[in-house]
Structure 1
């Protein structure tokens, strides 16, 4: 659905955006979001959210393994009355491993759709450059299918002691036997599993992949912003103008309807931070300097004109 602004050639100016708000204010924001820069930025935010969900899933899984490692040091942990404690952590690791592989598949689809819509330069080359562990990406994707169509991967703990170094390490591992019970692994995934020494170490596998993903998606976001800088600049200019006009309307209404006996100081904490309040109160009470300090603190869109300042001076009872 198009709005008033959609029929006007770019670039839009303040006067045109103001006219569109007067025509039908609810259409303005959607029109701005439909600009090329708006589409890119919103798609990038969606990709960022998906990346964050994937990273957070891995972090929560790693935290679970670390908590198990720390608590299992206590002999009481292994008492018969606590026999379900280890099982509880094993289930939590399995559950969170499932979340990791599921969120990865979502990320793969969202990233693929993003690149189709916005034709990001160098994606194929850079993906191969950052994801350097042969078969790891394919394995994690197939592991999601394994858990969805076969069974939840059986991650079991093992505790290793190094008497020479005095170290103790806890691992959650998936055996090759358990994995190969499923017959639908891709060739790259099979090669990855077969190349492992014994079992898949959940911690090491996902830590390695997360580092590679972080490097790739940091590069990806940077190149998208650089490649679309002009469209994004225009989009943010429109949003700044639109938000400034909205703020002007809000403050004009609030100040116009302020009662004569209003104590403005009781509202400072509602709109200002502590440091901003301290800055405002460093000037004489009911002074123009105090009003100017307040304007500097809240007027991030530089909307305050003579009309608004006059109304603010009246609210603060500034003497002529």
Structure 2
């Protein structure tokens, strides 16, 4: 999903970049030819990633549906994808770009009656060497777009469809095996906690034994924003050290014994430990 949505965003971003530079009249200059070629290659890359990741999602969802029974899965697939021409076309496009060739960009620049400027990245049916072998629904989709397929509009529409389906699927999975997933995550957290505790114990014992100043190493563990938050509290106070623990201890490994060792490493005196 991350790669799929990133590819869609990148494609639309590249189209917008071309749109801005085309109307400024700069991108077509001879001295910008290499830049234009790079932009077109980036568009091809985005198409490749979008179509490939879209079909990977199909395969992964199908594999998941064989492991657990999801109520309404078949009906949802049938309604959203089975006879959907845009989906079938993207499936065929994936086969094109993975196994045959990357398609050359075709820019279509126009101005609406109200003066709005529009840039489209089109694929024409005659470019698609495998078109005769396409799925029936993909062929019908091509027939409905004889003047070219606007990939920007297609990708935006398909992204909305896929994200809607994946959101539904995640909820459906949670309703079926949510308890098992939660139990697995709980067990994983427990194992990580057990592993982190002796590791931190070893590090802190070395700090104490070597009389090292732990403040000298905070920037290796905290972000700049976290450093500002920590340093805003009274220096060497229990509140400050407790905040450091809360930030760093992602697994909840710090028990009372380990916390005492942390206080010792930060040289927190007993009276400071009693501060509210």
**Category of TM-score, reference length = shorter chain:** 0.7 to 0.9
Instruction: Output one character per residue of 1:236-289: Cα deviation in whole Å (capped at 9) or x when no partner.
Output: 22122212212221222223332263334334444453255246x437x4x666
Q: How many residues align?
A: 266
Contact 2:22 2:28 in 1 (8 A): yes
Answering whether residue 161 of structure 2 is matched by residue 216 of structure 1, we say no
Query: Measured at CA, do residues 262 and 52 of structure 1 come closer, stay the same or move farther in structure 2, by a change above 3 Å?
Result: closer
Equivalent position to 1:142, from 86, 89, 92: 92
Instruction: Output one character per residue of 1:59-79: Cα deviation in whole Å (capped at 9) or x when no partner.
Output: 222221111111111223333
The match for 1:67 is: 17
Instruction: Output one character per residue of 1:49-104: Cα deviation in whole Å (capped at 9) or x when no partner.
Output: xx211222222222211111111112233334445654554444334323322222
* Separation in structure 1 between the aligned mates of residue 219 and residue 101 of structure 2, nearest angstrom: 55
Contact 2:96 2:130 in 1 (8 A): no
Q: Secondary structure at the match of 2:132?
A: coil
Deviation at 1:216, TM superposition (A): 0.8
Equivalent position to 1:226, from 153, 157, 175: 175
Q: Which has the higher contact order (CA 8 A, sep 6+)?
A: 1
Instruction: Please tell me the root mean square deviation across aligned C-alpha atoms, in Å.
Output: 3.0
The match for 2:227 is: 274
* Separation in structure 2 between the aligned mates of residue 203 and residue 179 of structure 1, nearest angstrom: 18
The match for 2:202 is: 253
Query: Measured at CA, do residues 88 and 229 of structure 1 come closer, stay the same or move farther in structure 2, by a change above 3 Å?
Result: closer
Answering whether residue 184 of structure 2 is matched by residue 235 of structure 1, we say yes
* Separation in structure 1 between the aligned mates of residue 152 and residue 239 of structure 2, nearest angstrom: 59
The match for 2:57 is: 107
Q: Secondary structure at the match of 1:160?
A: strand
TM-score, normalised with respect to structure 1: 0.71
Answering whether residue 138 of structure 2 is matched by residue 189 of structure 1, we say yes
Query: Measured at CA, do residues 310 and 207 of structure 1 come closer, stay the same or move farther in structure 2, by a change above 3 Å?
Result: closer
Structure 1: runs of 5 or more not aligned: 1-50
Contact 1:269 1:277 in 2 (8 A): no
The match for 1:120 is: 70
The match for 2:212 is: 262
Deviation at 1:222, TM superposition (A): 2.0
Q: Secondary structure at the match of 2:117?
A: strand
The match for 1:318 is: 269
TM-score, normalised with respect to structure 2: 0.81
Deviation at 1:142, TM superposition (A): 1.1
Query: Measured at CA, do residues 307 and 130 of structure 1 come closer, stay the same or move farther in structure 2, by a change above 3 Å?
Result: same
Contact 1:156 1:172 in 2 (8 A): yes
Query: Measured at CA, do residues 267 and 90 of structure 1 come closer, stay the same or move farther in structure 2, by a change above 3 Å?
Result: closer
Structure 2: runs of 5 or more not aligned: 272-276
* Separation in structure 2 between the aligned mates of residue 194 and residue 123 of structure 1, nearest angstrom: 30
Answering whether residue 13 of structure 2 is matched by residue 56 of structure 1, we say no
Query: Measured at CA, do residues 215 and 253 of structure 1 come closer, stay the same or move farther in structure 2, by a change above 3 Å?
Result: same
